[in-house]
Amino acid sequence: MKLSVSKNIETLIPYPPGKPLKELEREYGVTGSIKMASNENSWGPSPKALQAIEDSLTNLHRYPDGSCYYLGQALAKKLAVQERELVFGNGSNEVIDLLVRAFISSGDEVITSHPSFLVYQTMVQAREGVNRVVPLKNMHHDLESILAQVTPLTRLIFLDNPNNPTGTIFGKQEFEGFLESLPESVIVVLDEAYVDFVDPAVRLDVRKYLHNRVPVVGLRTFSKAYGLAGLRVGFGIMAEEIAGYLHRVRQPFNVNELAQVAALACLEDEEHYQKTLSGTRNGIKWLTAEIEKLGCRVFPTQTNFFLVDVAGDCKALYEKMLHKGVIIRPMSAYGYPTFIRITAGTEAENDRLVKTLAECL
């Protein structure tokens, strides 16, 4: 077979998928595993979402609503934005892809941080864009160094706030100073996948910057706080003009029917949403105290996950815990060879994790 593939695709490294939980259990000979590695919602989706899915199963022979009309109406009302300022995607990942497809041509530059969400860079490379990557500084986005990387070819700057994997954020004053120093030709993308878990007292309000001199786009998801990771539904909040360009490159039926009805039902279940936030915050607090008792260093976070320095080989620890049915994320691939990342879970999951960690350290 002789395939003609451009160099940017030839050298692209695919996103590495993890093995299914059942396959891991079969491979390691364990049952009843708990997964605390992927920043998912341990409380699951809203019961109202499950009912909405069940009620919609008879409509699966129909195409979904290409405009996400009812979800858009409800979300616009909840966020106090215009419906035309929302763009929905097959997860917020797709909105990232739409931004890159709409605004990046060969040779255009995009600035990201490292470590952060790897998908930013792969999508830019696929479009023959140029990735300018700035290391984090003390586990925070180094906005000053990012500014130094801006050139006339810079089109997008991706900032995950909170950052994954560190859980850190930057504040209003720092961010606004950053925006003032940028040229008008740049779009700043705030990836707020974990914004629901951020302390409201320090949370940025992306809506204030949608029509800024330097426009800001906010990315959000129903995967985390709303527990719909398996259905893939996310959205972007942006100026109408930017949204218009994204709709030009968006597939017409990109958000499936079950995702739309489930997301709409989640917005109507404030009780379940608050239960998730409360359980997460309590879990982070309890886990921090218990893991510190084991002699590990736990880093503060504004998300549903946190980093732990175990002062040893994180890969070896990961393997030991995996054999006991507790799945965590080793951080060696991110440049932290002694760190693990843990997602807060239910009380039972948290208790099991701490006991297993104590046995394996």
d(CA 305, CA 300): 10
Instruction: Give residue for tokens 């965590």.
Output: 328
Residue 86 tokens, joined: 């929302």
- Is the pLDDT assigned to residue 139 strictly greater than 90? yes
Every domain of the chain and the residues it spans: 18-45+271-360, 48-267
Query: Do 47 and 269 meet the contact criterion of CB atoms below 8 Å apart?
Result: yes
| CB-based contact 115:161 (threshold 8 Å) | no
Residue 122 pLDDT more than 80?
Answer: yes
What are the distances in angstroms from CA 72 to CA 1, 66, 204, 232? 46, 11, 22, 16
The pLDDT assigned to 10 comes to 84
- Measured CA to CA, the distance from residue 52 to residue 198 in angstroms comes to 28
Instruction: Give the residue with greater pLDDT, 3 vs 260.
Output: 260
Which residues, other chains included, contact 358 with Cβ-Cβ below 8 Å and sequence gap of 6+? 294
Over 90: is that where the pLDDT of 128 sits?
Answer: yes
What phi and psi, each to the nearest 5 degrees, are found at residue 170?
-120, 160
Nearest to 322 by CA among 36, 4, 85: 36
pLDDT for residue 234 is more than 80: yes
Amino acid at 251: Q
Q: Tokens 């930057």: give the residue.
A: 170
Q: How far is CA 264 from the centre of its chain?
A: 20
Class of domain 18-45+271-360: alpha beta
Query: Band of the pLDDT at 160, cuts 50, 70, 90?
Result: very high
**pLDDT score of 319:** 94
Q: Stretch 205-234: mean pLDDT, rounded?
A: 97
Q: Which of 211, 173, 189, 5 is nearest to 96 (CA)?
A: 189
Which residue's structure tokens are 């030709």? 185
CB atoms within 10 A of CB 7: 9
pTM for the structure as a whole: 0.94
Q: Residue 123's closest CA among 154, 92, 142, 99?
A: 99
Q: Is the pLDDT of residue 233 over 80?
A: yes
Residue 108: what pLDDT? Answer: 98
**How many contiguous H segments (helices) and E segments (strands) does the chain have?**
13, 13
Tokens, residue 296: 């590990």
Band of residue 149 on the pLDDT scale cut at 50, 70, 90: very high
Assign 315 a pLDDT band (cuts: 50, 70, 90): very high
Question: Stretch 231-259: mean pLDDT, rounded?
Answer: 97
DSSP string, 286-353: HHHHHHHHTT-EE---SSSEEEEE-SS-HHHHHHHHHHTTEE-EE-GGGT-TTEEEEE---HHHHHHH
DSSP state letters, 186-216: -EEEEE-TTGGGS-GGG---GGGGTTSSS-E
Q: Residue 311, Cα to own-chain centre: how many angstroms?
A: 27
Mean pLDDT of all residues in 226-249: 98
pLDDT digits (tens, 9 = 90+) for 16-38: 666 677 877 788 788 889 999 99
Token code pair at residue 127: 């479009």
- Taking all residues of the chain, what is their mean pLDDT, rounded to a whole number? 95
pLDDT at 7: 87
Q: What is the pLDDT of residues 89-108, one digit of tens each?
A: 999 999 999 999 999 999 99
d(CA 361, CA 358) in angstroms, rounded, equals 6
How far apart are alpha carbons 137 and 108 in whole angstroms? 25
Asked whether residue 331 carries a pLDDT value surpassing 90, the answer given is yes
Each residue of 262-313: pLDDT tens digit? Answer: 999 999 999 999 999 999 999 999 999 999 999 999 999 999 999 999 999 9
CATH of domain 48-267: 3.40.640.10
Q: What pLDDT is recorded for position 27?
A: 81
pLDDT in tens, 27-78: 878 888 999 999 999 999 999 999 999 999 999 999 999 999 999 999 999 9
| pLDDT number for residue 6 | 86
CA distance 176 to 241: 22
